[in-house]
Amino acid sequence: MKIAKRMNLLGSETAFAVSAEAAKLGATGKKIFPFHLGDINLSTPKSVIEAAKKAINDGKTGYCAAPGISELREALAKDVGNSRGLSYDIDNVSVQPGGKPSIGKYIAAMMEKGDSVLYPNPGYPIYESQIEFYKGIALPYGYVNTSEGLKLDFRAIEKGIEKGAKHIFYNNYNNPTGASSSNEEIEKLAKLVIDNDMFLISDDAYFDTLYDGKPKSIASIPGMYERTLTMYTFSKKFAMTGWRLGASIGPKNIIEQINRLNVNMESCTTHFVQYAGLAGLNAPEKETQDILDILKIRRDRLVEILNGINGIEAHSPEAGFYVFPKITNLLERTGYNDVEEFRKSVLNETGVSFCGRHHFGRPLENESDYYIRLAFSGINIEDLEEGMALFREWIEKSTK
């Protein structure tokens, strides 16, 4: 049997491979400290669970419309519109089985073979995978390390635009770096997009997980409404990673094309899960605030512990589930010159499992520092502290 050549172009989300590796080690009896995946070990809000049960009992178990049930589309149009100061209606919303499908569907619908597409790297690895699978030219842009954290590398973005990029993926707040854009940065990026007649996919996976203040969306900048497709997901805000519910939200002509892909790919998103999502959008804010409050405690403790280790520099992310510390000096101290080797040694010897920068896009040529990513969404505070104590001990033991 011959596998189609195009499958050689498809990438992956290698954090799942790290997760499988850790699970295998765990099966031998070793205690695992899971810092590898942006999954959540907290319960989905009660109102969401109850609505799902009711929807099943009410018989919402058959097919439904490919763009999603109208009640959920309306609620999303209102919720996403209000939080961004924009006006959307039902035809601006296509319900999806998670956030991820919006990425590949946008590419399939809007990118011609040979088109150049800018994407963040380090970044969510599915951008690179989907651009290349559909035979586009993936142009990475990185981040610059500043005293305020990692900031967009505008030189790389401008270089990509000079090369003719017409599409750009933007993930504010970013996985894996924890980087968030200032208003100036968002405005500068929007200006580049508008001046160069580009289109932007705003991956808003962590928009609703900002710990303090109000989140900002690039779609709100004048001139960007018609140039932005927002990738919405219920996964993070509502601790619903395994339910698979999200949406593409943006200009009607793009949503129409994405709806056509829905028919071809999954017919519709799970019917009763859409009622669960609807209940989430209508639930008291406290239900999701409780999740954020727990995550914030974990974030603060993890950043504090990491910065107490000689050779590690960690910024505290304003949103999201990830700390992305620089470990260049730590590698030197422990005699490693490869993050993957370092990661494997730590995992096998301590059970502490995290990802390396290389799990988030092919490393760029000019990179001179080393980073790892630790997720704090899937580990409780006691295990977080126990795991970090073992990590610290291992470092002391391994220091040359």
Ligand X SMILES: Cc1ncc(COP(=O)(O)O)c(C=O)c1O
Question: Contacts with ligand X: how many residues (CB under 6 A)?
Answer: 13
Query: Under the criterion CB under 6 A, does residue 178 sit at the interface with ligand X?
Result: no
Which residue in 368, 109, 400 sits closest to 248, CA to CA?
109
Given the complex with ligand X, which of 38 and 140 has the nearer CB atom? 38
Supply the minimum distance, in Å, between the C-beta of residue 308 and ligand X.
27
Q: Which is nearer to ligand X, 15 or 395 (CB)?
A: 15
CB nearer ligand X, residue 241 or residue 274:
241
Q: Which are the contacts of 229, defined by CB distance < 8 A and separation ≥ 6?
A: 102, 106, 199, 200, 201, 202, 248, 249, 250, 251, 254
Rule CB under 6 A: is residue 207 a binding residue for ligand X? no
**Range in contact with ligand X (rule: CB under 6 A) among 59-67, 98-106, 191-199, 384-392:** 98-106
Exactly one of 76, 107, 198, 205 binds ligand X (CB under 6 A); that residue is 205
* Complex with ligand X: residue 67 or 336, whichever CB lies closer: 67
Which span (63-71, 96-104, 324-332, 359-367) binds ligand X, by CB under 6 A?
96-104
* Placement of tokens 């040694």 in the chain: 345
Q: How far is the CB of 222 from ligand X (least distance, A)?
A: 26
Pairing label, strands 355-356, 372-375: antiparallel
CA-nearest of 79, 123, 378 to 239 is 378
Cβ at position 197, least distance to ligand X in Å: 25
Beta pairing class for 322-323 and 199-203: unpaired
| CA gap 346, 349 in Å, rounded | 5
Instruction: Work out whether 171 is an interface residue with ligand X (CB under 6 A).
Output: yes
Whether 236 and 206 have beta carbons less than 8 Å apart is answered as yes
Dihedral angle over CA of 224, 139, 232, 99, nearest 10: 160
- Out of 241, 270, 334, 353, the residue judged to bind ligand X by CB under 6 A: 241
387 binds ligand X (CB under 6 A): no
Q: Work out the angle at residue 297's Cα, subtended by the Cα atoms of residues 292 and 299, and round it to the nearest 5 degrees.
A: 90
Q: Which among 2-10, 94-102, 222-230, 328-336 is the span making contact with ligand X, rule CB under 6 A?
A: 94-102
Site stretch for ligand X (CB under 6 A), options 92-100, 289-297, 330-338, 390-398: 92-100
Map the footprint of ligand X across residues 332-361, applying CB under 6 A.
Answer: none
Which of 25-33, 93-101, 293-301, 388-396 is the region at the interface with ligand X (rule: CB under 6 A)? 93-101
- Contact set for ligand X, span 315-334 (CB under 6 A): none
CB nearer ligand X, residue 246 or residue 325: 246
235 binds ligand X (CB under 6 A): yes
Which C-beta is closer to ligand X: that of 131 or that of 395? 131
Q: Which residues contact 377 (CB under 8 A, 6 or more apart)?
A: 38, 39, 40, 41, 42, 236, 295, 298, 321
Look up residue 207 and give its two tokens: 């928009």
Pick the binder of ligand X from 92, 233, 262, 288 (CB under 6 A): 233
Among 104, 136, 246, 325, binds ligand X (CB under 6 A): 246
How many angstroms separate the CA atoms of 195 and 189, rounded?
Answer: 10
Answer for which of 35, 106, 119, 124 binds ligand X (CB under 6 A) is 124
> What does the per-residue mask of binding to ligand X show for 20-59, with x meaning CB under 6 A?
------------------x---------------------
Q: Is the dihedral of CA 127, 130, 131, 133 positive or negative?
A: positive
343: nearest Cα among 17, 13, 10, 12: 17
CB of 11 vs ligand X, minimal distance in Å: 14
What's 4's DSSP letter?
-
User: What 3-state class would DSSP assign to 357?
Assistant: helix
Residue (171 or 274) nearer to ligand X, CB: 171
Work out which of 36, 60, 100, 357 binds ligand X, going by CB under 6 A: 100
Burial 267-283 (b: 16+ CB within 10 A, else e): ebbbbbbbbbbbbbbeb
Residue type present at position 219? A
What tokens were used for 27?
Answer: 């099966």
Nearer to ligand X, 15 or 331 (CB): 15
Please report, as ranges, the residues that interact with ligand X according to CB under 6 A: 38, 98-100, 124, 171, 175, 203, 205, 233, 235, 241, 246
